[in-house]
Structure 1
Amino acid sequence: MLDKVLHIIALFDFYGALLTDKQRLSMEMHYLNDLSLAEIADELGVTRQAVHDILKRAEQVLIDYEDKLKFVERHQREQQAIQHIYQLIGELPDEIRQLPKLHLAVQELNCLLDYSKEV
């Protein structure tokens, strides 16, 4: 269940701006603010069933975008590759790791990894 929620949140991060206002707001309230369907229904002035339908439709829209564009999949592959490169550099002898150009490359990798945590 947690994997599904994390996957939907990742999809929302990439494609959320493409949802309707009501879908985006419902997704934010449910997935980011952890509101129940009843709480969202009260906030939006609709039924609990309507919120359920909005969320299911929004989730499907996000999945459809990912099926076509693969941005989340690509991002995850890139992050794994960066982490692997970083690990390989960490296994190099100290005298090699201290080379100025390699040191700059490690700093850039750190920036990429730090940036990805913000996204």
Structure 2
Amino acid sequence: MSQENRLEKTNRINLLFAFYELLLTEKQQTFLKYYFHDDFSLGEIAAEFEISRQAVYEHIKRAEQVLENYESKLGLLEKHERRNRNLEDLQNALERAGVSIDNNQQINDIVHQLRE
């Protein structure tokens, strides 16, 4: 896997994790945090938990599948990304119309609320 693809995958897993973390088991949460957040190697995680690298790999792969399964059913990340794209489109349309959201507190407040 290329460095760019690995980075894309890491970013996606981190985003999915942000949405669905509490739906994972404690072990899945821990392994994903170590691997994707803290950048531990499979060997380092295996040593920490006194299991094989293969077992760590399988736990991580299973947790990734669980995250993707939740996303396919609930679509929270896709909705979040779509909302952000729509907000960008709105901001661009307002700028083209000569409306500065920075100078309009009401519009700025609404955009800020929608981003949360």
Instruction: Work out which of the residue numbers 79, 85, 96 in structure 2 matches 1:91.
Output: 96
Structure 1 residue 112 displacement after superposition: 3.9
The number of equivalent residue pairs is 110
Alignment gaps of 5+ in structure 1:
none
Instruction: Work out which of the residue numbers 45, 66, 82 in structure 2 matches 1:40.
Output: 45
Structure 1 residue 111 displacement after superposition: 4.9
Tell me the C-alpha RMSD between the 2 structures. Answer: 1.9
Structure 1 residue 80 displacement after superposition: 0.5
**Which letter does structure 1 place at the counterpart of 2:110?**
E
Per the alignment, residue 107 of structure 1 pairs with 109
CA contact (8 A) 1:12 1:62 kept: yes
**Which letter does structure 2 place at the counterpart of 1:106?**
N
Mapped pair 1:51 → 2:53: no
Per the alignment, residue 73 of structure 1 pairs with 78
Mapped pair 1:30 → 2:35: yes
CA contact (8 A) 1:89 1:97 kept: yes
Mapped partners of 2:89, 2:78: distance in 1: 17
Structure 1 residue 97 displacement after superposition: 4.2
Mapped partners of 2:28, 2:76: distance in 1: 20
**Percent of residue pairs bearing the same amino acid type:** 35
Structure 1 residue 90 displacement after superposition: 1.7
Per the alignment, residue 20 of structure 1 pairs with 25
- Give SS of 1:76's match: helix
- Give SS of 2:51's match: coil
List 4+ stretches of structure 1 deviating above 3 A.
Answer: 110-113
Q: Which deviations, in whole Å up to 9, do the C-alpha atoms of 1:6-54 show, x marking residues without a partner?
A: 1111111111111111110000010001110011111122111111000
TM-score w.r.t. the length of structure 2 is 0.84
